[in-house]
Chains A and B, each alone.
Chain A
Amino acid sequence: MKKLINSPGTVIADALRGIEVSDNRVRVDHTHRIVLRKEPKADGKVALVSGGGSGHEPLHAGFVGEGMLDAACAGEMFTSPTPDQIVAAIDAADTGAGTLLIVKNYTGDVMNFEMGAELTGAQVRTVLVADDVAVEDSTFTAGRRGVAGTMIVEKIAGAAAEEGMGLDDVASLARAVAASTRSMGMALTSCTVPAAGRPTFDLPEHEMEIGIGIHGEPGRHREPFTDAAHIARQLVEPVLADLNFGDSDVILLVNGMGGTPLIELYVMVAEVTALLEAADVRIARCLVGNYVTSLDMAGCSVTLTRAEPEWLRLYDEPVNTAGLRWGA
């Protein structure tokens, strides 16, 4: 394993120092491993707190700043943050107007945020993001996973909170956006968790994994490696089959898993767009890049959000974070 690290045990602490010195929009609480806005939001503004396992950067710390998150908790690699971190983040971010927790639907994240919400004195609402259509039989599993769609929820809810929307309304909005968002991902290679030192799963040269999550967990199925046009169909079809994206504007996110060159993501977005146009899906906004990653995994995911006009307005509002920035 060759990685730009000092040792597997110090990756997260070292990276938080890097975030601190490189991003003047945020400050870092190293004790609790939380990243906070340097300029706290005005009193009376709902706070947005998220977090999760590390290894998905820029999610979540890279989305702390004006127009998006107020605080992000960094867990161990691919492991949920702990309740004491979450309580510290809520207490630091809450302005008195309440806090919305944005949680990806993984068992550990759900339980830790639930306990954090119970232990804080602040008024808290929670939105669970479960956009991954790859999990088919959600009745008999922990349910669909929260993946790249999380950043769309964070962007739109963040803009609403910035405008002064109340806690219950921001929570309803975030839940509605989450419920209108679907994703599907694939991997060309596994990722290598530093502490493990070797790839999480073996994927032969001529095969690819379809329907992956963002922690190197196995996907829906494996099949022979093929070209971008075919892969695009494998991702777009299950998303379109799961929710009606017709008669509405749609936000499209083609997300890299961390180890995919941007030029390949452009190839993918061209193919995805062609398929969506052929299916009469109206792409109103399109975002391409590595936003919700899985360490060094090569691969990508496709996310669609069925967006109401008001959501598009909020999506277009200024955002000023290390990971996403426009209009500011």
Chain B
Amino acid sequence: MVTTATVAAWITRYAAIIDENEALLTELDSPIGDADHGANMARGMAAAVPGIDAVPTIDAQLKQVGMAMLSKVGGTSGPLYGTLFLRAAMALGARAEVASSEFAEALATGAAALAERGKADPGDKTMVDALAPAVAALERALSEGHGFADAAAAAFEAADAGREATTPMLARKGRASYLGERSVGHTDPGATSAAYLFRALQEVA
């Protein structure tokens, strides 16, 4: 079971992880982007958290996060994370608690919408490389009968492996793609911030 308390804890923890790693995200974004991923994500999450524990339904909580990402982040991360949260919210409807499998399915719907918005496939060196395996692992573990905490741990493991796998990849999307071969050898900052989503989920599940 996932409740509004779970989601509030997840989002609050995610904001804290982003905050702690703002400099790292910016550093990752410097050689292959424009050195603003840390600052942009921190600004977005700072706007997402206030009042999240008082929002009565999960979909409204996810919508609050999505709108904060959309209106405060800008660049590519804003619309991408905005799409992820807004589409997940739409998939759930106005409820204060949902089955873990429904929550996982909503995240998968959001992640698919994000990939479509960014026209990115796995292997393009983007946040999709962390997100897609993570939501797949979450759904798989739940369908195999594991509890939500174990499933979240499996999702984080898959997300982190996906993040790490972006290092040798050649970027095919976004500003990094203009670097061609010079993008190889750098871990994707978007895949890193996406992996943090599941690190936070694992910690609160």
Contacts and interface: CB of A to CB of B under 8 A. Distances in A.
A182 interface: no
A76 B174 CA distance: 18
A82 B83 CA distance: 13
Interface in A53-96: 75-76, 78-84
Given A75-B74, A81-B74, A195-B39, A111 B79 contact: yes
Given A115-B82, A195-B39, A140 B177 contact: yes
B72 A111 contact: no
A107 B174 contact: yes
A287 interface: no
Given A83-B71, A108-B76, A111-B79, A78 B175 contact: no
B80 interface: yes
A195 B118 CA distance: 27
Contacts of B173: 107, 142
Given A108-B74, A111-B79, A112-B78, A79 B178 contact: no
Interface string B22-66: 000000000000111001100000000000000000000000000
A140 B120 CA distance: 12
Contacts of A315: none
Contact of B34 (A78, A81, A84): A78
Nearest to B69: A82
Interface string A278-305: 0000000000000000000000000000
A142 B177 contact: yes
A104 interface: no
B117 A111 contact: yes
A213 interface: yes
A311 interface: no
A193 B33 CA distance: 14
Interface size class of A (residues with CB under 8 A): 20 to 34
Contacts of B80: 111
B48 to A, nearest CB: 14
B147 interface: no
Nearest to B175: A217
B174 to A, nearest CB: 5
B140 interface: no
Contacts of B82: 83, 115
B110 to A, nearest CB: 15
A82 B78 contact: yes
B115 interface: no
Residue of B34, B80, B83, B179 with most chain A CB atoms under a 10 A cut-off: B34
A114 B79 CA distance: 9
Given A79-B75, A107-B174, A217 B70 contact: no
A79 B172 contact: no
B73 interface: yes
Nearest to A211: B178
B183 to A, nearest CB: 10
A55 to B, nearest CB: 11
A115 B34 contact: no
A141 B73 contact: no
B39 A82 contact: no
B185 interface: no
Contacts of B174: 107, 142
Nearest to A140: B172
Given A106-B175, A107-B175, A140-B172, A84 B71 contact: yes
Given A141-B178, A142-B175, A142-B177, A82 B71 contact: yes
Interface string A25-52: 0000000000000000000000000000
B186 to A, nearest CB: 13
B180 interface: yes
A80 B178 contact: no
A218 interface: yes
A22 B106 CA distance: 50
Contact of A141 (B40, B118, B177): B177
A142 B75 CA distance: 14
A240 B72 CA distance: 41
14 contacts: A79-B40, A79-B74, A82-B74, A83-B79, A107-B76, A108-B75, A108-B79, A111-B117, A114-B79, A115-B83, A141-B172, A141-B180, A145-B178, A217-B34
Interface of A: 75-76, 78-84, 106-108, 111-112, 114-115, 135, 137, 140-142, 145, 193, 195-196, 200, 213, 215-218
Listed from nearest, the 9 A-B pairs whose CB atoms lie closest are A141-B177, A111-B79, A108-B75, A108-B76, A79-B74, A84-B71, A107-B174, A79-B75, A107-B76
Interface of B: 34-36, 39-40, 70-76, 78-80, 82-83, 117-118, 170, 172-175, 177-180, 182
Given A195-B36, A215-B175, 10 more contacts: A79-B75, A82-B74, A112-B74, A115-B70, A115-B117, A141-B172, A196-B35, A217-B34, A218-B178, A218-B182
